[in-house]
Structure 1
Amino acid sequence: MQASHGGSRGRALPLLLVAVAPDVPLAWLDELDDPRFSYHRAYNGHDTLRDLYRYQPDLLILGLRVRDPGPWEVLRRVREMTEDLRVMVATRRFDGADALRALDSGADDVLWHGMPEGLAKALVMARLRRATPVSPPDQLLEDGRLRLDLDTHEVTMGGQYVPLTPLEFDLLHFLARNPGQVLSPEQLLHHAWRARPEGDAGKVKYAVLRLRRSIERATGVKAPIETVRGVGYRYVLPGSHPA
């Protein structure tokens, strides 16, 4: 297959983001080799999500052996991000239960090693013909106080660098992209956790507490995250006042 270089602007060929585990044989990918598209390869779930923002691909091929996070978490987060991106899951052996789960989770097609010759490439080309350029959420979130970079996972607040864990980063991102909106613990569990716990609101309470402490240690000022008793939490924009 051809490697892709550079981002989406000005590229001549449709771009596939191929997310497969490092031990997947390249021969399997070579079945999709075609001069009508280029590709970029990611090796784990974290890099896949990062590269969706960086390269803005026309199609995602997601291997079911990807880890950190795994394929189901990646697919969930992709579908939270956009309904427009075409997603095809890929596996070395067809499994009906996995195929149904993938389609129910938002995938458009299933590919597997050993498909009838030419079918995988035909499915890819069919999806690309119907693909529209995807504009994911802005990589950079800024509000005059907070600067949150989705590409580098770096956060500054009031000009001060704020070191955060991956969970704290995801929690702050979801709060800050919904400023002023009260978000319930259940919403935060659903959107911010990489491995979503089942209905344990206590996890949210202590995660918000740790996030506030991280911000306040770095900046020396009160974190702009308000608790609305009995309802949830909200991010307060600069110049706003509690309701």
Structure 2
Amino acid sequence: MRPLPLILIAAPDGMHPALAELAADPQYETLVAHTGESALRALYKYRPDGLILSLRLPGLDPWEVLSRVRDLSDLPIAVVDQEYRLPDAVRALEAGADDYLTPDLPHRLYVPLLRARLRRGADTAPGTASVIEDGRLTLDLSAHEAVLRGHRLDLTPIEFALLVALARHPGQVLSADQLLQMVWDAPADSDASRVKYTVMRLRRKIAGTTGAPAPIETVRGVGYRYPGPRPPAAP
């Protein structure tokens, strides 16, 4: 086991100061790749624990890098860009990125958000239940395993964390702001689209694996709810 998480930063030369600060952070081992091709080579060779991917990465198209990485791995991915573009934010989140960050965020917020993303795959905090089970859904937090109706779900860390947050509050509607804080460690006024698109991907995966609709309800104008298992019908 590595003593420290290994983070791959795929960004062009002259990267944003926040990325340079993260690369120098002693709580991580970091690799820096300056082209799409070298990013993929580093991914295959070193198997990092997280990826920060710049959409300005030269060489192999960064969208192709994102697609290949997500096809091969469920490691946390934060996509970063020089400025906020709604179409790119939507495309990145739908393609499997866990976050879309731009330098117009205050510097004091930008780096903590990146750190929060990179630690999302860490073990559950002490004192919390390691298994959630309700007769329909089983979540093993230490093994990062989710089984629904007997089907094992292949989830990314952020999708798993979202399902855990909902399953811990069966029957309760959780707003996007609450989920941003619980799942992303992000301020309530952060971009709520990441919740929407992660819910969309999670539902799609569950339906594709189980052949049935995902047990995640949308309460219009309020948020999302995991209803929990329905009680058996009265005889």
Q: How high is the TM-score relative to the length of structure 1?
A: 0.46
TM-score (norm 2): 0.47
Highest Rg: 1 or 2? 1
